Chains A and B, each alone.
Chain A
Amino acid sequence: MKLRYAIYLASAALAFGMLTLASTLPSGAADKVDPVADAKAFKKFFTDKFPKVKLEDFVNGPYSMNEDLHRQWQEKEQFPPYEFSLEMGKEMFSKPFKNGKTYADCFPNGGIGVRQNYPYFDEKEGKVITLELALNRCREANGEAPYSYVKDEMAALTAYMAFTSRGKPMDIKIPDDPRALAAYENGKEYFYTRRGQLNFSCAACHVQSPGERIRAEILAPALGIVNAMPIYRSEWSGMGTTSRRFTTCNSQIRGVPLNPQDDEYRNVEYYLSYVSNGLPISGPGARP
């Protein structure tokens, strides 16, 4: 009798132990990474939240959220503030390096109309390659010093490359490579992770609060946010690249920014670009 009781007790304890173990397994183990479903849900979230905004208009950031701002933007586009940078980029793009080669030699289709394919996952290197990174690598491969990732020359070059790709739908591929899927998932994790003393994630502003004001600014929706890069920001009194946007977002929430083009930033750009697939390239953009 005692033995039977002990067996019952041991089995109950074992079952309880199994249950506890199952509940403490990392949630990631049960979740399969599904970028196609993610992108679908991402678009649905924003189109449900803003039923009046056309899908392709999300790339216009705060201007898609507010009628008055939209009108201001249309007027601004008559004499766009990024025009100087665009001209500079065009000139730089065609000017040969000391060795006689140009940027066109480093990119498919001579670098014209290819912005929508960046960032891409390089299977040889096992990492995400952004347009900014590819431009600096092109320079270094041709014996030139790399540019700062955040503004001026880099903004000018990416502005020109975006301009030649305007209207083309973002077309980011995730190859059948577990490292590519991991880079995508890490980018997603970065996007939703709260950081800085203000305890904000990228999503806290650009998913939870697009269209809302944060002090004098109207927050842009995350959907299509990278399609408009690089941007002229009145707040910066100048142009800024994707790298500038990420690093300043971090410091604004009192987090120490990482170095431009660190893996985290490359991965988050990969994630954000992928979930914006199908939306047109609109860069260079202008923002308040």
Chain B
Amino acid sequence: MRNGMHKSALVLALLAAGAVSALAAGSEDDFKAAYAAAEAANKEAGKLRNQWTTTANTLAAAKKAADAGDFDKATAAAKEAEALAKASIFQATSEKTRWKDMEIR
């Protein structure tokens, strides 16, 4: 019984933590932070001359959702944009040497 109570307390705590983080994900501040991180990564990809159209589209979708007040959707899109931008940075960096593998010799 006591053990069961502990368990339910743990479940409650986890649920609460989940609810808090879900709430946090939906805040305007979190969107702003996620969007700024995505923009910074995309800017870095721009310096490497390797931005992806999908990053720009996803950033635009994030902005649109934020303008409509849907910060859950906006934050998720901004995080996706950041992941895309980071993938484009990885691509540009690894291709600095990998392009030679494809060269006709």
State the A residues within 8 Å of B (CB).
26-27, 31, 38, 41-42, 45, 188-189, 192-197, 199, 201, 203-204, 207-208, 251, 254-256, 258, 264
Chain B: CB-nearest residue to A203 = B102
9 extra A-B contacts, CB within 8 A, seeds A188-B103, A193-B99, A256-B51: A41-B104, A42-B104, A195-B50, A196-B52, A196-B53, A197-B84, A199-B91, A204-B102, A258-B49
Q: Name the residue in B54, B92, B104, B105 with the highest tally of chain A Cβ atoms < 10 Å from its Cβ.
A: B104
Chain A: CB-nearest residue to B42 = A256
Interface size class, chain B: 20 to 34
Interface residues of B in 35-88 (CB under 8 A from A): 46, 49-54, 56, 84, 87-88
* A194 and B104 contact, Cβ closer than 8 Å, known pairs A251-B53, A255-B53: no
**Residues on the A chain within 8 Å of B104, using CB:** 38, 41-42, 45, 207
Would you list 28 pairs from A and B whose C-beta atoms are within 8 A, ordered by A residue? A27-B100, A38-B104, A188-B103, A189-B99, A192-B99, A192-B102, A192-B103, A194-B95, A195-B50, A195-B91, A195-B92, A196-B52, A197-B53, A197-B87, A201-B99, A201-B102, A207-B102, A207-B104, A208-B102, A251-B53, A254-B52, A254-B53, A255-B50, A255-B53, A256-B46, A256-B56, A258-B49, A264-B49
A90–B54 Cα distance when bound, in Å, is 41
Q: Is B97 in the interface zone, CB < 8 Å from A?
A: yes
The reply to whether B91 and A27 contact each other, CB–CB distance below 8 Å, is no
The reply to whether A255 and B105 contact each other, CB–CB distance below 8 Å, is no
Q: Is B7 in the interface zone, CB < 8 Å from A?
A: no
CB of B48 to closest CB in A, whole Å: 10
* A194 and B54 contact, Cβ closer than 8 Å, known pairs A27-B100, A207-B102, A258-B49: no
A35–B56 Cα distance when bound, in Å, is 37
**Residues on the A chain within 8 Å of B97, using CB:** 26-27
**Residues on the B chain within 8 Å of A189, using CB:** 99
**Residues on the A chain within 8 Å of B46, using CB:** 256
A204–B97 Cα distance when bound, in Å, is 16
**Residues on the B chain within 8 Å of A196, using CB:** 52-53
The residue that B100 contacts in the complex, of A45, A192, A199, with Cβ under 8 A, is A192
Chain A: CB-nearest residue to B105 = A41
A201–B103 Cα distance when bound, in Å, is 11
Chain B: CB-nearest residue to A44 = B104
A42–B97 Cα distance when bound, in Å, is 20
The residue that A194 contacts in the complex, of B49, B53, B84, B91, with Cβ under 8 A, is B91
**Residues on the A chain within 8 Å of B99, using CB:** 189, 192-194, 201
**Residues on the B chain within 8 Å of A42, using CB:** 104
The reply to whether A197 and B54 contact each other, CB–CB distance below 8 Å, is yes
**Residues on the B chain within 8 Å of A45, using CB:** 104
